[in-house]
Amino acid sequence: MVTTKRFGKTTVGAQSAYAYAGYKNACRYPLSEDGYVTSISVHITVPEIGIDFGARAAIYDEDKKLVVQSTRQFVMTSGWKTFSVSRTFLKAGDYWLAWKVQSRRIVRYDSGGIGQTIRNAEAFDGFSSLFGTAEQFNTAVSIYATYEPSKGTLNVYAVADSETVKASVQVKETQQQENTPFSLRLEPGTYTLTATYEDQTLTKIITIEAGETSTVTFPFTLMHTLTIVSAPIPTLPFTLNGADVVTPFNQKMPQGTYTLIVPSQVTFGGVVYNFLQWENESTSRTRTISLTRDINQAITATYRRVPPPIDEAGPINQRQAKDTLQEVFGQGGDLSPTNPLPTEGTGKNTNPRRYEKDYGFRSAPTTIGAVATALYTTATTPARTAGQRVTVYSLHIENRSGAQAWVWLEIAGAAVTPAYPVANNNTLAVDWPAGLTLGNVDITVNGTAGAVVQISGTEA
């Protein structure tokens, strides 16, 4: 089926005027698209009933050069009179639709643009190749041309989960590249369209028919940025919806729900780390993310370094202390005024725990601030004696943080004891019977914020 359209004035004007013999007339109208003209129609009123006279129609281009004209046709009745013309191609632009009559006839019009209608003297025979100099009138005459569009219209859109998005589309046959939404005028035929959005590619084949409008919508999945990092470990293997991935992870992902699982313990650079928490303070290794928008803050998995083991170090109770004394001094029984810690001779270093009592130090009770906190240094009160070697015999931890606490001693940022767990509202005493010799160094404490720590020992 051939699609036809019209350009010009297709309604009957409210006013009328005579078109006289011996003149050719034309009215300017725009053609919005390329097409093939097939006829011209003019609304003509016959003033004298039964008198048959001829009329002609033609089209001039914007430069008033003749494009096509009809043959003579007789007009005996009033109304729209259609004049067939040879099928002629017209490019989009302005055209003058012309007519002439063999005897006076009445045409209809409304007010128009300045100089929209023109007229000059010319015999009734065929139209001249150039319209020539003419009178001008500000009227829009009821005359139009019928044409077959040479192209069809293609409208292209892209959506992602029902949301309008901008996709890049290539038309293979014409090599045109456009961003949605857009419209194209195409010759009739079959076209292949390839659309790309956020690393997604879709292809559609569409048929264009002359004068018809075709619409194509590409359905994509909405994408958002997901960023996952780890600290202080720069590279951490984990699973994302069951797939093995690694931090740092930064990708555009389809909108939806994702499950992250990180390992409880990893080794990096020869150092062992335990999972501590996420940036939202959750301590579960499994985390569910609802990705409905770009997440500007990185999802962060935080790990804590596991201190290396220290020989002969660890929390002990009275029974363990008594067993240790039996092993060292060969005597049994609980310590008491009648069963004191044995000493040999009068040397002050013979009994280190007695020496600690008589000549040792006791640090001030210190509250941990979630970072390495000075415990016994040359700047604390009491202060460590510079140049003296420090030996620690006991560590006392009191936890009032509201949750389980972990505490360990450090020197220059490196752990020198294991991390000791202490339940909330509990205390823990750690003893080193033979002494934990640390050297001429400042001692700091690290662990859960809010825990209170104190050490005692000797300097020599």
Position 315 confidence tier, pLDDT thresholds 50, 70, 90: low
Q: Give the whole-number percent of the chain exceeding pLDDT 90.
A: 62
DSSP-derived pairing of the beta strands 223-231 and 299-305: parallel
Confidence of residue 52 (pLDDT cuts 50, 70, 90): low
Pull the structure tokens for residue 115. Answer: 């100089």
Euclidean distance between CA atoms 54 and 32, whole angstroms: 31
Least confident of 134-138, 151-155, 179-183, 327-331: 327-331
Other CB atoms within a 10 A radius of the CB of residue 20 amount to 14
Task: Give the whole-angstrom CA distance, residue 265 versus residue 276.
Answer: 10
Listing DSSP states for 59-78 in one string gives EE-TT-BEEEEPPPEEE-SS
**For residue 185, which amino acid is it?**
R
CA–CA distances in Å: residue 280 to residues 164, 237, 241, 261, 297: 33, 20, 20, 15, 11
235, 301 contact by CB (below 8 A):
no
Cis peptide, bond prior to residue 315, ω within 30 of zero: no
Q: What is the mean pLDDT of residues 329-348?
A: 50
Residue 236, Cβ neighbours under 10 Å: how many?
22
Model pLDDT, residue 340: 56
Are 5-149 and 318-459 in the same CATH fold? Answer: yes
Q: Which CATH superfamily is domain 152-220 in?
A: Immunoglobulins (2.60.40.10)
pLDDT tens readout for residues 58-68: 999 999 999 99
Q: What is the pLDDT of residues 220-272, one digit of tens each?
A: 988 888 999 999 989 999 999 999 999 999 988 888 899 999 999 999 988 99
Question: Which of the two residues, 162 and 332, has the higher pLDDT score?
Answer: 162
Tens of pLDDT, residues 79-118: 999 999 999 999 999 999 999 999 888 999 999 999 999 9
In the chain, where are the structural domains located? 5-149, 152-220, 223-305, 318-459
Which of 46-50, 153-157, 450-454 has the least mean pLDDT? Answer: 46-50
CATH architecture of 5-149: Sandwich (2.60)
For the ranges 200-209, 265-274, 290-299, 316-325, the lowest mean pLDDT is seen at: 316-325
- Whether residue 344 is predicted with pLDDT greater than 90 in this model: the reply is no
With a CB cutoff of 8 Å and minimum separation 6, the contacts of 227 are 248, 249, 250, 295, 298, 299
> Band of the pLDDT at 50, cuts 50, 70, 90?
low
Is 21 or 142 the better-scoring residue by pLDDT? 142
Residues 367/451, Cβ–Cβ less than 8 Å: yes
Are 150 and 34 within 8 A, CB to CB?
yes
Point out which residues pair with 215 in neighbouring strands: 155
**In whole angstroms, what is the distance from residue 100 CA to residue 92 CA?**
25
Q: What is the pLDDT of residue 323?
A: 47
The β-bridge partners of 118 are: 26, 136
CATH no. of 318-459: 2.60.120
Hey, which CATH number is domain 223-305, 3.30.70, 2.60.40, 1.20.120, 1.10.3470?
Answer: 2.60.40
Cα 128 to the chain's mean position, in Å?
64
How far apart, in Å, do the first and last CA atoms of the chain sit? 109
For residue 327, what pLDDT is reported?
41
Q: What is the pLDDT of residue 334?
A: 53
Segment 22-51 shows an average pLDDT of 90
Distance, CA of 242 to chain centre: 23
